Chain A
Amino acid sequence: AIQMTQSPSSLSASVGDRVTITCRASQGIRNDLGWYQQKPGKAPKLLIYAASSLQSGVPSRFSGSGSGTDFTLTISSLQPEDFATYYCLQDYNYLTFGGGTKVEIK
């Protein structure tokens, strides 16, 4: 099974900061990777699919990059509503979530 290693597991940041979250796959997964945002008590929400495609309605401050084994989610200027937990998900071979990154207020 493909393992997804996400880092960091948590981070503290201020409004306006640039935030970067990474995900590494245990084997190559082409660009079969998505990023999801989850807030407490809610289901995950799609932000990015196919590694770099922005889901309709998602603010352009979110971007994704990478291919193969290494992927990045970037929030260019953190907003108050962005404090949440972020997960990567590979769908190259079955489905595997990363461990999550909790973005907290500094």
Chain B
Amino acid sequence: EPEVTQTPSHQVTQMGQEVILRCVPISNHLYFYWYRQILGQKVEFLVSFYNNEISEKSEIFDDQFSVERPDGSNFTLKIRSTKLEDSAMYFCASSADRDSSVDTQYFGPGTRLTVL
């Protein structure tokens, strides 16, 4: 069964450093998402991406965040200058459709980001 993959599974970085989290969505999906979950808190939407541009972003997704689909398979989340509060589990998801009552988003296993 096709699945969303994410690398690395765990990333440790120093405050102020740039990190890139990588995702390979399911191959025939058109919509891509990033969510994050701070330890003990809700899973929160960050951004959605379609047709090589951002469809929607949350208040969390400020100028230090960016997303890119550099080739036909990868989808990346870049955090330019990490802060302690960026420590969280970051989930990538993809879907074939959007705003569909029958469609679901498929989630990757997550990347745990620890900022020291």
- Our verdict on whether A and B bind, yes or no, reads no
Residues of B within 8 A of A (CB): none
Binding site for B on A (CB under 8 A): none
